[in-house]
Structure 1
Amino acid sequence: MKRNKSNKIFGALLPILTMALLVSCTDVESIDINRPGLEEQSPELYAKYLENLNAYKSSDDHKVAYAWFDNSVKAPYSRAHHISDIPDSLDVVSMMYPADLAEFELADMAAVRRKGTKVVYTISFDRIQKEYTDKVKEGVETGVFSTYLKAEVDRLISYESSFDGIIAEYKGKNPIYMSAADKEEAKANQDIFWGAVMAWKQANTTKFLTFQGYPENLIGQSVLTECRHIILATDDVDAVEKLSVVARQAMLSASTPTDRFVVAVSTVSMDAADTKTGFYDKARAIKEAAYWITESSADYTKAGIAIYNIQNDYYNADAIYPYVKEAINIMNPSPRK
């Protein structure tokens, strides 16, 4: 019943848009609401669209869609480099390079916020750990990891003023297989990482925090209750059936909330020779994961999907971001007469 409420909120605007644009459609992503001139030509219609779009995203009755966007290009030569062109129905977009944002990026961020899209970035414990290990091997880092970790987390958190929230990633290792000494060290490092993240969250109550990784690898942490969603580390799985396996592994810890699971998938690689990235066997992972989300589960909630390399889906002969839009519409079908 809740799903019907969210669909009605969003679908209520469709007859108005159909009359105004002289198109026939049954879902929001069929409407090119961003095409040049529409906002100026029909400001009242566009305002109503934004009102309904924001109401839809602020409700808890729809399946959410996160995405990671490669914003490494600071002198754009294609609309593919603009987050203002991502699908309107995306809930959250994570900028992969949060430092030194260009003026056009700040303008794009303001544009998507008008549509209710939250702009965040990711802080990854595992990436920090790998960078430290690589620097030690290269001989450019001689300090202890705990000191390096604290400095890096503090540096990354310092970018937060331009964003609506943070995705904190922790994969780590399963403590079940650790020695007592290794477990103690892992717990100490977790405390440094999550201590800094939670201090930021407590000082920024209007911003949101989302977890990404393996919840079962957390040791004595209660951070998950403060996280809006739990993005499971499923971007590397090769079959849709394994999504359920990862979800159940996350539930091995009794402290893991089960009402907010999001699964991670990737778009298809731009490298034609790569036949694995973004696929479950020969089927597109993003589509299969979206259908998996719509299937009910008795003991945990499938809250949505998170999409890696969303910019790869921009390039298409017929329409931009076609597979992302399709996945969102599978999870949140518009009401049909």
Structure 2
Amino acid sequence: MKTIINKLFIYSLLLLTFFLSAACSDWNEPKPVDLNINSAKKQNPELWARYMQVLHTYKQSKHYLAYAHFNNSPEKPVNEGSYLRSLPDSLDIVTLGNSSKISDYDREDIQLLQEKSIRVLYFVDYAAHAATFTDVMALGTWLDKAITVATELELDGFAFTGIPFYSGTDTELAAHKEKSRLIVSKLSAAVGQNKLLILEGNPAFVADTDLDKLNYIVLNTADLTNVTDLKLQVAGILANGLLPKDKLLLAARTGGQIINEASMKQNAVILMTDRVVSLGPLGGLSIYDIGKDYYSPIMNYELTRSAIQLMNPSK
């Protein structure tokens, strides 16, 4: 009898273990869940429309510009800060650092930014690729491809880079000038009316006769480490009288530091924000590496919003 009872007890334990295992397996197995998350626009279309109108009115008003260079489509997005949709609404211009790699997320976010009256630009990084263009035909083909993509995405213009050429043979100098003129000629023709053409870098790259085709110039101040160098650079550019102050934007890199007049290290974005007014007043501020963090207690998002508010306190 004991043997039968023992066997029944063992069988019961086995059955119980089986059912518990099956149940636990069901509990622990991840299952897709349909979540209906409504955006702010869908939750209250009327309030959203009013907010869009406020943004549009602000962007159309006279104010110091806020420009961001954003590295879109990262190979390994780490958080929400990797996406265009997370940028501050009060930005005026965003240049896509990886314009040749546009993801499906980027396509959606570009439309969202434009709805918020943020101008989104295609980035033509000629400085990084100049050595690969041995002749103007190759450069022209490259530019045509960029223009095609920007047109398909309905972007709001172009930002481009270039390195001035100060020494070399007459032939080399002529070739350099020809490439510079080609870049400005093709891109300015492509932007047409109501779009932007911006140089990121030294204005000496562009011929004096082409400077009026540029809407703004983002000066290459992002990696300066001393405020004295900043003052000398801005003073030198303004001294030639070819560029109006309101065409110039100072550049700062998030996480950077600059030694100020008191020989103290200061946050680069904060220092540059102040110098936009004191060294000009200039046209505004450009921020690089804006998408590098999101959950940090001192977020680039908040830093950018503070910079915009400091430049435009009454807006």
**TM-score past 0.5 threshold:** yes
Residues 100, 38 of structure 1: CA spacing in aligned structure 2 closer, same or farther, 3 A cutoff?
closer
Deviations 1:244-280 (A, max 9, x none): 3222222354433433110111111xxxxxxxxx111
Task: Give the TM-score, by structure 2 length.
Answer: 0.77
Task: Give the TM-score, by structure 1 length.
Answer: 0.72
Q: CA deviation at 1:317?
A: 3.1
1:128 and 1:152 in contact (8 A); partners too: no
Deviations 1:71-121 (A, max 9, x none): 133675631222111011111111112234222211111111111111112
2:69 and 2:96 in contact (8 A); partners too: yes
CA distance in 1, matches of 2:96, 2:49: 27
Residues 126, 320 of structure 1: CA spacing in aligned structure 2 closer, same or farther, 3 A cutoff?
closer
Q: State yes or no: 1:216 paired with 2:216.
A: no
> Which residue among 174, 186, 205 is the counterpart of 2:193?
205
* 2:47 counterpart residue number: 45
Residues 147, 288 of structure 1: CA spacing in aligned structure 2 closer, same or farther, 3 A cutoff?
same
Residues 200, 308 of structure 1: CA spacing in aligned structure 2 closer, same or farther, 3 A cutoff?
same
Secondary structure of the corresponding residue to residue 286 of structure 1 = helix
RMSD of the TM alignment (CA)?
Answer: 2.6
> How much identity, in percent, do the aligned residues show?
25
> Which residue among 303, 312, 315 is the counterpart of 1:332?
312
> Which residue among 130, 137, 140 is the counterpart of 1:147?
137
CA distance in 2, matches of 1:144, 1:333: 49
Q: Kindly report which structure 2 residues correspond to 1:87-102, keeping only aligned pairs within 5 A, or say none.
A: 87-102=88-103
Secondary structure of the corresponding residue to residue 212 of structure 1 = strand
Residues 57, 241 of structure 1: CA spacing in aligned structure 2 closer, same or farther, 3 A cutoff?
farther
**Gap runs ≥5 in structure 1:** 1-34, 133-142, 269-277
**Gap runs ≥5 in structure 2:** 1-36, 260-264
Q: State yes or no: 1:173 paired with 2:165.
A: yes
> Which residue among 242, 267, 273 is the counterpart of 1:290?
273
Secondary structure of the corresponding residue to residue 68 of structure 1 = strand
What letter is aligned with 2:297?
A
Secondary structure of the corresponding residue to residue 317 of structure 1 = coil
2:198 and 2:215 in contact (8 A); partners too: yes
Q: CA deviation at 1:179?
A: 5.0
CA distance in 1, matches of 2:293, 2:271: 16
CA distance in 1, matches of 2:101, 2:247: 32
What letter is aligned with 2:189?
A
Q: Kindly report which structure 2 residues correspond to 1:64-143, keeping only aligned pairs within 5 A, or say none.
A: 64-73=65-74, 76=77, 78-130=79-131, 132=132
Deviations 1:35-59 (A, max 9, x none): 9765455443332222111110112
CA distance in 2, matches of 1:198, 1:320: 32
1:64 and 1:305 in contact (8 A); partners too: yes
Residues 171, 144 of structure 1: CA spacing in aligned structure 2 closer, same or farther, 3 A cutoff?
closer
What letter is aligned with 2:291?
Q
Q: Which has the higher contact order (CA 8 A, sep 6+)?
A: 1
* 2:4 counterpart residue number: none
Residues 251, 170 of structure 1: CA spacing in aligned structure 2 closer, same or farther, 3 A cutoff?
farther
Q: From the two aligned structures, give the one with the greater helix fraction.
A: 2
* 1:316 counterpart residue number: 296
CA distance in 1, matches of 2:206, 2:197: 16
> Which residue among 53, 56, 59 is the counterpart of 2:58?
56
Residues 320, 230 of structure 1: CA spacing in aligned structure 2 closer, same or farther, 3 A cutoff?
closer
Residues 198, 318 of structure 1: CA spacing in aligned structure 2 closer, same or farther, 3 A cutoff?
closer
2:73 and 2:102 in contact (8 A); partners too: no
* 2:225 counterpart residue number: 238
Secondary structure of the corresponding residue to residue 227 of structure 2 = coil
Residues 178, 244 of structure 1: CA spacing in aligned structure 2 closer, same or farther, 3 A cutoff?
farther
1:287 and 1:327 in contact (8 A); partners too: yes
